[in-house]
């Protein structure tokens, strides 16, 4: 894996994979055991565990051992950081489009 410099970089890297996005979507419904999370995927458990490790390393999920099972849950703080960044970029793009619209409107009036 390439070196990513910020937690936000790690989060976007983690979410770039469809398997990890599916895990996040499932965990949005509530916590689940690793075996439950792995069930829909046609891959060996060690391979699936690597996906969970990426999600956990970047802070998107947390896991804990309960008896003989490991359970995972979402960590909202990292998602909030990503959402805040995307919202700031959306506002910046909207402002640029508003300026372009105003410029074009002023050109039409001439």
Is residue 15, in this structure, part of any structural domain at all? yes
Is residue 57, in this structure, part of any structural domain at all? yes
Domain range enclosing 73: 7-109
In this predicted structure, what is the pLDDT of residue 14?
Answer: 93
In this predicted structure, what is the pLDDT of residue 2?
Answer: 55
Residue 54 and residue 20 in contact, taking contact as beta carbons nearer than 8 Å: yes
CA distances from 48 to 19, 21, 51 (A): 9, 13, 5
In this predicted structure, what is the pLDDT of residue 60?
Answer: 95
In this predicted structure, what is the pLDDT of residue 6?
Answer: 82
Is residue 1, in this structure, part of any structural domain at all? no
Q: What is the mean pLDDT of each run of 10 residues along the chain (110 residues)?
A: 72 94 96 96 95 95 95 92 91 95 87
CATH code of the domain covering residue 18: 1.10.10.10
């Amino acid at each position: 894996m390439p070196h990513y410099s910020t937690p936000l970089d790690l989060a976007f890297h983690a979410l770039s994979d469809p398997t990890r996005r599916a895990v996040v979507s499932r965990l949005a419904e509530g916590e689940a055991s690793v075996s439950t999370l792995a069930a829909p995927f046609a891959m060996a458990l060690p391979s699936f565990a690597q996906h969970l490790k990426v999600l956990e390393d970047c802070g998107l999920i947390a896991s804990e051992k309960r008896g003989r099972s490991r359970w995972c849950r979402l960590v909202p703080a990292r998602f909030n950081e990503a959402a805040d960044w995307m919202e700031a970029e959306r506002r910046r793009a909207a402002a640029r489009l508003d300026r372009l619209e105003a410029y074009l409107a002023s050109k039409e009036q001439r």
